[in-house]
């Protein structure tokens, strides 16, 4: 709620109210709620114990529980169809898709069709040895797909999975009634 009080620099209370209303309209939706991030038309509420960390791609926003360790939670707008985004996510594994056998299912979240993914495999050669697990949710929106994903070692992703799915299932579309 915007409160107006008379100040010498702003003039009348009416001017203050008008200014406050204009600012409220001009602020991005993501700023309306602390701890939330807007990606395309989907708003995600990120847990307080996850900190934003730099991403190598300006189109990606990513978070970690503690910088430099643990799985990475990423949010980004997709460029293609939902199916193509799922295929792009699966290229993060060394194995061909036919050998990965990912679990893919569909749900409704915030009134939107969402394709969910759970896959475990070998990371690409440059990522080093070991196993790699990815959870993802690809939201179908009028402005193209919105992708939320959780990446890391199978053990770390298993520990963070409940929190990730909670973020996904609590997503909202601020423009929908």
Give 131's contacts (C-beta < 8 A, 6+ positions apart).
120, 121, 122, 123, 153, 154
* CA atoms within 13 Å, Cβ hemisphere of 149: 25
pLDDT (0 to 100) of residue 128: 63
One digit per residue, pLDDT tens: the chain, 177 residues? 333 333 334 444 444 334 343 333 333 333 334 478 889 889 999 988 888 888 888 788 999 887 667 899 999 999 889 999 999 999 989 888 888 889 999 999 988 899 999 999 998 766 566 889 999 999 999 889 999 999 999 999 999 999 999 999 999 987 665
* Interatomic CA distance for residues 49 and 66, integer angstroms: 8
pLDDT (0 to 100) of residue 89: 93
Helix (H) or strand (E) holding 75: strand 72-77
* CA atoms within 13 Å, Cβ hemisphere of 7: 9
pLDDT (0 to 100) of residue 111: 85
DSSP calls for 3-39: ----BTTTBSHHHHHHHHHHHHHHS-GGGSSTTEEEE
Helix (H) or strand (E) holding 165: helix 154-169
Domains and CATH numbers, the chain: 1-32 (no CATH), 34-169 (3.40.1000.10)
* Interatomic CA distance for residues 95 and 47, integer angstroms: 32
pLDDT (0 to 100) of residue 68: 63
pTM of the prediction?
Answer: 0.76
């Amino acid at each position: 709620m915007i409160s107006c009080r008379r100040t010498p620099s702003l003039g009348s209370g009416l001017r203050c109210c008008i200014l406050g209303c204009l600012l409220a309209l001009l602020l991005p939706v993501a700023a309306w709620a602390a701890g939330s991030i807007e990606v395309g038309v989907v708003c995600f509420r990120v847990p307080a114990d996850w900190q934003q960390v730099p991403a190598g791609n300006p189109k990606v926003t990513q978070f970690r529980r503690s910088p430099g360790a643990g799985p990475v939670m990423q949010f980004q707008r997709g460029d293609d169809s939902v199916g193509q985004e799922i295929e792009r996510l699966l290229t993060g594994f060394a194995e061909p898709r036919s050998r990965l056998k990912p679990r893919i299912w569909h749900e409704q979240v915030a009134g939107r069709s969402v394709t969910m993914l759970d896959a475990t495999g070998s990371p690409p050669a440059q990522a080093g040895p070991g196993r790699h697990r990815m959870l993802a949710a690809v939201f179908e929106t009028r402005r193209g797909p919105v992708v939320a994903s959780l990446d890391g070692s199978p053990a770390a992703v298993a520990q963070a999975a409940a929190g990730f799915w909670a973020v996904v299932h609590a997503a909202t579309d601020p423009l929908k009634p």
